[in-house]
Structure 1
Amino acid sequence: MRHMRSGLWARWTAAAVAALTLAGCGLGGAEDSGPPGPAATGGQVTGKVSLQTWALKPKFTAYMEGVIAGFEKKYPGTQVEWLDQPGEGYSEKVLSQSAGGTLPDVVNLPPDFALPLVRQNLLLDIGASDPAASRDYVKGGLDAYRFPGRQGTFGYPWYLNTDVNYWNGELLTAYGLDPRKPPASLDQLVAAARTVKARSGGRTYLMSRKPNLMDLANAGVPIMSPDGRTFTFNTPEAAAVLDTYRAAFKEGLLPKDVLTETYAGNTKLFSSGTAAWTTAGANYITSLAVDNPTLAPKVVPSAPMGTPPLYVQGLSVPKTTRNPAAALALARWVTNAENQAAFAHETSIFPSTTASGTDPFFSRSDGSNAGDAKVLAFRSLSSARVLEPVQANDAIKTLVNQQIALAVSGRTGSKEALDTAAARANRLLED
């Protein structure tokens, strides 16, 4: 999931980041978390300003046009040019624009796309340009745009999501487990998986995925050094996590093909009834109702085990903008509480403003399991944080996952696999 869309949300861990703290003061309107005025930017909000988004057309064209019309009405004399880039190749497009000096005034950048621009000193520090941002946006969303070794905050958080646990309540009950008191730790998960295997005759799995960097982070393992220059996940604690999975795999508690490149994935196994647990975004039950309407009512959601991951999209302002006052104002407007709440009504995202903390649309369930999942996800955002650093690009994650697979399979020792993965990942960082 390169960015947060299922229609808009897919599992986009490359842009996954940061913790947040939700403070509730009621949902405000556009005026409540309005854009910064001349005092914040030293200029008048007027003139032409361009906004680039990522794959919002055509599904969200009407929404974005309404947001833009509202901005132009609030600030007479402004004119917004909306540019929407296709989903495929977006990161390459942004790098090409930055190299050519043609970045729009406001650019939709997840943190991993923002990082190379920050390294080139191309993005405004919105913390310095707009000090009120620290009050109006959740801390973790802002932390997503703060990078080790760099002073500043280089984007406004736009929309957020996280993962929830989903359990097949019917299967757990059949195997003597209480779906309302599901496992809350890795050790409990292994114990429950052992019960499921024994009572199902090996027909059903509870555990159905191999570990990754996020699992190591959830165990308290520091994935990187504080300066963001070195991977440090090759610790005894990380090796212990892999040892636990290796023992579970040897015991037959995970599917035999879980370590292969052709593995279907735990969500697919869950949907088919072969696995009794999966993790997914807050709207998973709604989509499952389309794929497997018989299973969807039997699903019981629960809060994530350990620290929830946070996935975020944001808007950054390049230093090359010729209209910083209008650019900052526009980024603020698009990401204010009212506009984010309206966006959330159209797709499965959560807002990043502190004013959204007690909005009943997010904080109250309608009594359905899908409604419960949404509330669980929203509440868990208060403790969510970065579990996979943005420096861990696709190439690095691929080699790490390969070494983890070797360790879980028993073909190499856990510490040895982690040492190899860290050394190779650090070489890639130097390239």
Structure 2
Amino acid sequence: MLPTPTSPSRRLPGLSGRRPALVVAAVAAASALVLSGCSGGAGGGAGSDVDGPVDGTITVQTWSLTPTYTDYLDGVAAAFEEANPGTEVKLVDQPGDGYAEKVLSQASSGTLPDVINLPPDIALPLAKRGFLYDISQADDALDDTYVSGALDAYEYNGVDGVYGYPWYLNTDVNYWNAARMDACGLDSTAVPADTDELFTQAATMHEACPDDYLMSRKPGLSDFSLAGAQVVSDDGSEFVFADDDASADLIDRYAEAYQEGYLPPSVLTSEYLGNSTLFTQAKVAWTTGGASSLSDFVTNNPSLDGEVVVSPALDTPPLYVQGLSVSAKSKELATATAFAAFMTNEENQAAFGHIVNVFPSTTASASDPYFSEDDGTVDGKARALAFESLKTAENLSPVEANSAMTQFLDQQIALAMKGDVTAQEALDTAQQKMNQLLANG
């Protein structure tokens, strides 16, 4: 899918630019019921021989890509069929809403397509229960073909193997309302480069303009990672962020900023619209977004045209990944694996990246000037900055954390920021609950 995660703002599904956390609370509770007892263990047994002939019919499932990208998908399928006589590729596309539940249902009912568009978090429970094929068994050139961070996203703690071909990538860049900054004691030509500067400039802006805000979000798991805390144990069996003082220190810092008035009051209420929406409404002067976000901001608020500057993500850029996984139960395993590799090769990824504001995951794409060169526009600068950032981007939010877990953590952080509980109490409560959910499914 042209999905695009959100963390404060994660990007990748849905070509609109944002993918909300996809494994919703219902899935967190249902996955154990739907999938337990239905599999043959991590890695799974293949439905056919991966070394067999590349022929026969396969079904390939994408996520929220049609009708916008039907021509591209049809073209890739036709090229594969032409290169491999005797093959037939049937393309199906699922809508964005309820995709995780749909995939879990397909797995439990034995109707999982041969090739499935999956982000790492949805692929994880399937890989653990043997529904996905370990592609490292069939392809020894993975490390040379794909950038390491993207490939790492499909390698899971406690599960041997690689469970997805990286397809397309994204990351965050920063967007700043230059007019608001310059009017409130800041210099839009010297925007914050790290979290420390962000807090400093937020205080300066509040002092000059008490009713204006630079910051407008709570911290989350990715922020714990950026602060240097270990979020998940090495074997992926439990969350450990509450055991690190860096996590409590970070929440205390946000709590102080909130209580000093550096963040809008709505951040801790049900009326909070998200920092991207507040930025679009020109109510805050900073947000994060993908390389194509500026056009959305300006479309929804034309007054922002010419008033926005862009800079690299603070600290370590986040890495957002989409990929193609192969069903371990496929009756045409050789063909399914060959197609997934074909669709994610350099040529096809580059073509996709040129029509969609996402980035290819192949190492060979580093030399493509379309992605790397600033064309002088803000959009072009954002694209070049994002592409450069991918060289150092990291998977900051653990795939073990689904939205039920992060929602509970968010609630506890809100309590701490309001002063109802201490930061450590909030973290301990959240960690205990999240580990219960993790153990249950």
> Which residue does 1:283 correspond to in 2?
292
Whether the aligned pair in 2 keeps the contact of 1:157 and 1:335 (CA below 8 Å) is: yes
> Which residue does 2:161 correspond to in 1?
152
Of 314, 319, 326, the residue aligned with 1:310 is 319
- Matched position secondary structure for 2:391: helix
What is the identity, as a one-letter code, of the residue corresponding to 1:281? G
Of 27, 52, 56, the residue aligned with 2:61 is 52
Q: Distance in 1 between matches of 2:122 and 2:374?
A: 34
Of 190, 215, 228, the residue aligned with 1:207 is 215
Q: Distance in 1 between matches of 2:273 and 2:99?
A: 27
What is the identity, as a one-letter code, of the residue corresponding to 1:247? E
In the TM superposition, what are the counterparts of 1:48-87 in structure 2 within 5 Å?
48-87=57-96
> Which residue does 1:104 correspond to in 2?
113
Whether the aligned pair in 1 keeps the contact of 2:231 and 2:240 (CA below 8 Å) is: yes
Whether the aligned pair in 1 keeps the contact of 2:106 and 2:112 (CA below 8 Å) is: yes
Of 103, 127, 134, the residue aligned with 2:136 is 127
Deviation of 1:175 after TM superposition, in Å, equals 2.8
Deviation of 1:275 after TM superposition, in Å, equals 0.9
Whether the aligned pair in 2 keeps the contact of 1:12 and 1:311 (CA below 8 Å) is: no
Greater relative contact order, per chain length (Cα 8 Å cut-off, separation 6+): 1
Of 4, 17, 34, the residue aligned with 1:9 is 17
Of 206, 212, 220, the residue aligned with 2:228 is 220
The answer on 1:381 being equivalent to 2:390 is yes
Whether the aligned pair in 1 keeps the contact of 2:173 and 2:312 (CA below 8 Å) is: yes
The answer on 1:257 being equivalent to 2:276 is no
Aligned-residue sequence identity (percent) comes to 48
In the TM superposition, what are the counterparts of 1:16-415 in structure 2 within 5 Å?
41-200=50-209, 202-234=210-242, 235-415=244-424
Q: Distance in 2 between matches of 1:159 and 1:12?
A: 17
Q: Which runs of 5+ in 2 are unaligned?
A: 6-10, 24-48
After superposition, give the CA deviation of every residue in 1:288-313 in whole Å (9 maximum; x if it has no partner): 22112221321111111111111111
Aligned length: 406
Deviation of 1:159 after TM superposition, in Å, equals 0.8
What is the identity, as a one-letter code, of the residue corresponding to 2:324? L
Q: Distance in 2 between matches of 1:9 and 1:338?
A: 23
Q: Distance in 2 between matches of 1:5 and 1:141?
A: 15
Q: Distance in 2 between matches of 1:307 and 1:424?
A: 28
Q: Distance in 2 between matches of 1:339 and 1:152?
A: 25
- Matched position secondary structure for 2:82: helix
Q: Which runs of 5+ in 1 are unaligned?
A: 16-39
What is the identity, as a one-letter code, of the residue corresponding to 1:412? V
After superposition, give the CA deviation of every residue in 1:193-250 in whole Å (9 maximum; x if it has no partner): 11111212x1210111111111111111111001111111112111000111111111
What is the root-mean-square deviation of aligned Cα atoms in Å?
1.6
> Which residue does 2:28 correspond to in 1?
none
Q: Distance in 2 between matches of 1:354 and 1:41?
A: 25
Deviation of 1:13 after TM superposition, in Å, equals 4.6
Q: Distance in 1 between matches of 2:269 and 2:196?
A: 24
What is the identity, as a one-letter code, of the residue corresponding to 1:216? F
- Matched position secondary structure for 2:433: helix
What is the identity, as a one-letter code, of the residue corresponding to 1:11? R
- Matched position secondary structure for 1:297: coil
- Matched position secondary structure for 2:200: helix
What is the identity, as a one-letter code, of the residue corresponding to 1:185? D
- C-alpha distance 149-322 of structure 1, shift in aligned 2 (>3 A): same
Whether the aligned pair in 2 keeps the contact of 1:219 and 1:237 (CA below 8 Å) is: yes
Deviation of 1:94 after TM superposition, in Å, equals 1.4
Q: Distance in 1 between matches of 2:50 and 2:110?
A: 22
TM-score (normalised: structure 2): 0.89
Q: Distance in 1 between matches of 2:295 and 2:367?
A: 23
TM-score (normalised: structure 1): 0.91
Whether the aligned pair in 2 keeps the contact of 1:259 and 1:405 (CA below 8 Å) is: yes
